[in-house]
Structure 1
Amino acid sequence: MPLAVLYSRALSGMQAPLVTVETHIANGLPSFTIVGLAETEVKESKDRVRAALQNAQFKIPAQRITINLAPADLPKESGRFDLPIALGILAATGQIPADKLDQYEWAGELALTGELRPIRGALAMTYGASSSGRSFVLPQQNAAEAALVKEAIVYPAKSLLQICAHLTGHSPLQIYARSPDSDIESDSSPYPDMAEVKGQIQAKRALEIAAAGNHSVLMIGPPGTGKSMLAARFPGILPSMSEEEALKTAAIQSLSQGNFNIANWKRRPYRSPHHTASGVALVGGGSNPRPGEISLAMHGVLFLDELPEFDRKVLEVLREPLESGYITISRAARQAEFPAQFQLLAAMNPCPCGYLGHYNGYCHCSPDQVARYRGKISGPLLDRIDIQIEVPALSHKDLLHQISGEKSNAIRQRVEKAYQQQLARQGKANSLLTVKHIDQYCIPDTQGANLLEQAMTRLNFSARAYHRILKVARTIADLTGSNKISSHHIAEAIQYRKLDRN
């Protein structure tokens, strides 16, 4: 009754739990059984494996074969278990040596011919396997993606026969050589340039502050004033990604249906879901929970255009991730946790018709209509948005005579300098400061404290708004290279709470 044990990975959020694939051959009627909470695509692997073994000229025993995917309480999905199942059968029947199997982790979908097909989530699995001490064997098409994990040893393979030749010592697989980051990034296209947006000096200044301190932003203005243009160019002024940030972002994207594109390595993600998106589309979910738009914007930008047009219940799901930085999805059968360290960028019109405050005077919305329109966004959600700015309409004369603005590269240099100053001082962006750190790093001078006290009294700011004003003021001071928060830093931060002031 031979038994073969192999290691593979299942996907559950950012983690990649280890799965033991046990192949057991016993006497009895010929059958092929898979146990261990296998989804449909895993159950169908027995037909793919049987055909692949036959076409590769291996013998399939006319005995009872039981494949146990342990642990039994973890759901198994996708075709990535084809390869370990096939190798387990070959090892249990003595057709390949079993002494080296525990040195590797295996993943790959088998074609009927025995060729290996690419799988989803290769980077996430390799990221989880890098600390296990085992090498990773997977399809050749996934090798470049998996090799982004520097600590991982990746063996790409084209077919089942090639892997068997490696295990028998006839033709060893070659370790995949990781490409330098410079070669990977050279293939990526640049972001649109901020200089293409004419005018809107105050909005650009606010976005620069937001980029330097990782603050959330709400832009309010009539249609056609450049809100969407500014949002599309915002990733181009964000500070560069660290290796750890890039790995976490790529691992999350590799879990999605669209998979990870290696050309986007170390590029800040930019997600812009339509306003008809559901709450599950934003936070993630499903019978086998997968990350939503919030998690896919990991260390990047989530842009919500026409914010009041989103369902109010959908917008409310943003409240906890903006505070905690992660999302916990609970289902009756299981629970999954996804990271949610994203930067929210939103845009909205000032009224239902969109032309409130426009120089042409087209708006005829009543105050009640404007209040109901803005009331679609709850106070607790607005309170969590650091910067609320107006993006006014430019007159035809100003638009025709406006010269090009400052380029994104120049803005990004200032942002990078301020961001590095934050990392050196507190090890994280200003928006992530806790109350303890605010009391330590965001102490205004006497005039600034008096100004903030007056604003709190007159404008009735909440405690959360008070802390966010201090964090924005800290970023403004960092952009000027100042170690102290002065009154003019506080004043500028207060003016970015437009809806609170109204």
Structure 2
Amino acid sequence: MSDVVARVGAIALTGLAGTGVLVEAALSNQLPGMAIIGLPDTALAEAKQRVRVATQQAGFGVSERFVTVNLSPAALPKQGSGFDLAIALAVVAASGGVPMERMRTTAHLGELGLDGGLRRPPGLLSAVLAARSLGFERVMVPEHCAREAALVPDIEVIAVGDLRGAAAWHRGEPEGWRQGPFGADVAELPDPVPDAVPDIAEVIGQPEAVEALVIAAAGRHHLSMIGPPGAGKTLLATRLPTLLPDLAPDEQIVASSIASLGDGSLTGLVVRPPFESPHHTASAVSIIGGGASAVIPGAVTRACHGVLFLDEAPEFPRTVLDALRQPLENGVVEIHRARIRTTLPASVQLVLAANPCPCGNAGSPDTALECRCSPLMRSRYEGRISGPLADRIDLRLSVRRVSSTIAVTDERSRPTSAELRQRVVAARERALERLRGTPWRVNAEVPGSWLRGPAARLPRADTAVLDHALSRGSLTMRGYDRALRVAWTLADLSGRERPGRSQLAQALALRGGAAA
């Protein structure tokens, strides 16, 4: 075994959480080959083939020796191809090809091609954030995704095009690598065509439903819509994100970190709230997240600080719907596996859409669309959404089909998303001012103990309508608190200092399914 043991810094991602990894490499006089130890997954174990060919193509003569690569800490499961660059440099350094002075203080992130070129690893932005928090002085990344790494402030970014460039930087050579600032040579994404941008003005004849969306957006309340096919439930749900204000700076970092787990490189932070609409055949893992060997964020995490829309909600498996209860309550998803434990963000606004019965015509005033479902069929269909999940929904909206007379209403009377977003922003600013000094920003985050405490307690004469509903069992304590949150949102939208009896009564009506 060679006396030289090279040690190179890298980052292991588990979900969005990063852990520092020390890639150790040593050469020995055995038959040529390579072994990678330290709980690598299949993609990482295959790195030995990529590294051997890439180092040979780059002109580093290490293929005639046996290389042992250890990933420390050895007990931490590691996955993905993002360790390729660190492994290759460790192998080259062990053979004396490059100096090792700056290798431990630099996080090396990149996947190797067989020609020695570098490709972007998934989760690059999350890895750079982790590197900064772990105390690394700099990160080395593929050149074409340097702008994404540069989105993280207070850490030096070294951009290299291939393995030769990475070695050149460590040797102190002037060519083959770049150092920030980045972005001037990266083409900006074209602005979307105005006609292609969704707008709530496209919604025809549903003023009550549009107002309910404004309430949901202002307080970030969960919403369910029940109505026959063709009533516009999907159209309304897809327009909700257009009413939401831009993400706060810390929310942009979280949303961008989640987006970076995909294949595409980011050229800027995610500013607008995300929108996810999984199909009703989706599995629990695809919705909640998880995986056997690697943690893959689900739709509830990808929609963090945005909207998760479940169309045809009763068609989703009962286990999938019930798995949403804990994320909706806590704003996080806890993934527990035999060797992996992590927490994923899931601060999401849930929107459910459902038909009133299997055929969709229950309660229709049109005799041509008479419902033919039996009471038992209706009961089973409604029961697919469990009581505990339904109790976490703040606004329950009944949506009816639009009549032909309403459809010809003057388009100028319908507000646009930009106009309604101004109301939402103003209401959120009032809530933010009221909640200043607390860890909450919107009414949906405020716990009931605070709303019922000295800081926000309402007169008993005003809350009598909620107290009566609670006493006769038509409202749970959780529902009581959620109705209070909606009432505060109604007060913020109307410019009132605190909600009165009318806002509390309206909040209770919206929770019970106000007609639209």
TM-score under structure 2 length normalisation: 0.91
- Deviation, 1:333, is 2.6
In structure 2, how many angstroms separate the alpha carbons of the residues matched to 1:222 and 1:178?
A: 52
Amino acid at match of 1:311: P
Shift of 1:120: 0.8
Q: Which amino acid aligns with 1:177?
A: P
Q: Deviations over 1:105-138 (max 9, x none)?
A: 1011111111112211101101111222421111
**Bigger shift: 247-256 or 341-350?**
247-256
Secondary structure in structure 1 of the residue aligned to 2:252: helix
Shift in alpha-carbon separation, 1:22–1:141, aligned structure 2, 3 A: same
Residues 189 and 219 from structure 1, CA distance in 2 versus in 1: closer, same or farther, beyond 3 angstroms? farther
1:53 to 52, 55, 67: 55
Equivalent pair of 1:253/1:260 in contact (CA under 8 Å): no
Q: Any idea what SS the aligned residue of 1:448 has?
A: coil
Q: 2:422 aligns with which of 394, 402, 413?
A: 413
Match of 2:317 in 1: 311
Q: Distance in 2 between matches of 1:212 and 1:184?
A: 31
User: Counterparts in 2 of 1:429-440, with a 5 A limit?
Assistant: 429-440=442-453
Cα pair 1:329 1:337 within 8 Å, conserved: yes
Q: Secondary structure at the match of 2:25?
A: strand
The change in CA–CA distance for 1:458 and 1:205 in structure 2 (over 3 A counts) is farther
Q: Does the aligned pair in 1 maintain the 2:77–2:339 contact within 8 Å?
A: no
For the residues of structure 1 that align with 2:52 and 2:451, how far apart are their CA atoms?
A: 62
Q: Which amino acid aligns with 2:8?
A: L
Residue of structure 2 aligned with 1:469, choices 483, 488, 491: 483
Residue equivalent to 1:391: 399
CA deviation vs aligned residue, 1:42-80 (integer Å, no higher than 9, x gap): 122112111111111122164332100011112222221
What is the match of residue 138 of structure 2?
A: 135
Q: Structure 1's 73 and 166: CA in aligned 2 closer, same or farther, altered over 3 A?
A: same
Change in 2 beyond 3 A, CA 1:363/1:152: farther
Deviation at 1:413, TM superposition (A): 0.9
Equivalence for 1:481: 495
Partners of 2:282 and 2:51 lie apart in 1 by 39
Preserved CA contact (<8 Å) 1:61 1:93? no
Instruction: Tell whether the 8 Å contact from 2:253 to 2:269 is kept in structure 1 after alignment.
Output: no
Query: How far does residue 380 in structure 1 lie from its aligned partner after superposition?
Result: 0.6
8 A contact 1:20–1:71 mirrored in 2: yes
Q: Is residue 187–residue 263 contact of structure 1 (8 Å, CA) maintained in 2?
A: no
Q: Secondary structure at the match of 2:452?
A: helix
- Residue 442 of structure 1 contacts residue 474 of structure 1 at CA under 8 Å; is this kept in 2? no
Deviation at 1:188, TM superposition (A): 5.6
* Alpha-carbon distance change, 332 to 303 in structure 1, aligned in 2, over 3 angstroms: same
Amino acid at match of 2:441: K
Aligned to 2:277: 272
Structure 1 residues 200 and 162: CA distance shift in structure 2, 3 A: same
Q: Which residue of 2 aligns with 1:206?
A: 212
Distance 1:99 1:244, change over 3 A: same
The alignment-based identity, stated in percent, is 39
Task: Output the amino acid matched with 2:275.
Answer: Y
Q: Distance in 2 between matches of 1:38 and 1:418?
A: 50
- CA deviation string 1:378-422 (max 9, x = no partner): 111100011111111111222233535100001111111111222
Which deviates more, 325-334 or 299-308? 325-334
Whole-Å Cα distance in 1 between the matches of residues 349 and 244 of structure 2? 10
Residues 68/296 of structure 1: CA separation in 2 closer, same or farther (3 Å cut): same
Alignment map for 1:178-257 (pairs within 5 Å): 187=191, 191-256=197-262
**1:24, 1:76 → 2: CA distance?**
20
What CA deviation, in whole Å up to 9, does each residue of 1:442-472 have, x standing for no partner? 4334442122223334562000000000001
Moved more, 474-483 or 378-387: 474-483
Aligned-residue offset at 1:359: 3.0
CA distance in structure 2 between the aligned counterparts of 1:178 and 1:493, rounded to whole angstroms: 50
1:151 is matched with 154
**C-alpha displacement of 1:20:** 0.7
- CA shift for structure 1 position 372: 2.0
Task: Specify every segment of 5 or more residues in structure 2 that has no aligned partner in the other structure, as ranges.
Answer: none
Residue 41 of structure 1 aligns to which amino acid in structure 2? A
Distance 1:354 1:264 in 2: 41
Contact 1:21–1:84 (CA under 8 A) maintained in structure 2: yes
Q: Give the Cα–Cα distance (whole angstroms) in 1 for the partners of residues 269 and 310 of structure 2.
A: 21
Determine if the alignment matches structure 1 residue 177 to structure 2 residue 172. no
Residue 21 of structure 1: SS of its match in structure 2? Answer: strand
* Counterpart secondary structure, 1:98: coil
The reply on whether 1:448 has 2:454 as its aligned counterpart is no
Is 2:385 the counterpart of 1:377?
Answer: yes
**In the alignment, is the contact (CA less than 8 A) between 2:22 and 2:104 conserved in 1?**
no
Aligned length: 498
1:134-159 Cα shifts (integer Å, max 9, x gaps): 21111123222222223332222111
Q: Contact between 1:388 and 1:497, CA under 8 Å: does it hold in 2?
A: yes
Determine the structure 1 residue equivalent to 2:338. 332
Q: Which moved more, 1:469-478 or 1:444-453?
A: 444-453
Q: Secondary structure at the match of 1:113?
A: coil
- Kept in 2, the 8 Å contact 1:445–1:485? The answer is no
Q: 1:500 to 1:476 in 2, by over 3 A?
A: closer
Q: Is the 8 A contact 2:447 2:481 kept in 1?
A: no
Q: Which of 460, 475, 493 is the equivalent residue of 2:507?
A: 493
Q: 1:457–1:443: structure 2 CA closer, same or farther, 3 Å change rule?
A: same
Maintained 8 Å contact 2:307/2:349: yes
1:76 corresponds to which residue? 78
Partners of 2:329 and 2:189 in 1: how far apart?
Answer: 32
Structure 2 distance, partners of 1:473, 1:228, is 26
- SS at 1:265 equivalent: coil
Structure 1 residues not aligned, in runs of 5+: none
1:135, 1:153 within 8 Å by CA — same for their partners in 2?
yes
Residue 321 of structure 1: CA displacement?
A: 0.5
Question: Mean alpha-carbon deviation: is it higher for 217-226 or for 148-157?
Answer: 148-157
More divergent stretch after superposition (430-439 vs 473-482): 430-439
For the aligned residues, what is the CA RMSD? 2.2
Give SS of 2:18's match: coil
Q: Is the Cα–Cα contact under 8 Å of residues 8 and 21 in structure 1 kept in the other structure? A: yes
The answer to which structure has the higher helix fraction is: 1
In structure 2, give the amino acid aligned to 1:269: P
Q: Distance in 2 between matches of 1:130 and 1:32?
A: 31
Residue 165 of structure 1 pairs with residue 171 of structure 2: no
Superimposed CA distance per residue, residues 345-370 of structure 1 (whole angstroms, 9 cap, x where no aligned partner) = 11111122112222313232343332
Say if 1:105 and 1:135, in contact at 8 Å, map to a contact too: yes
CA contact (8 A) 2:398 2:513 kept: no
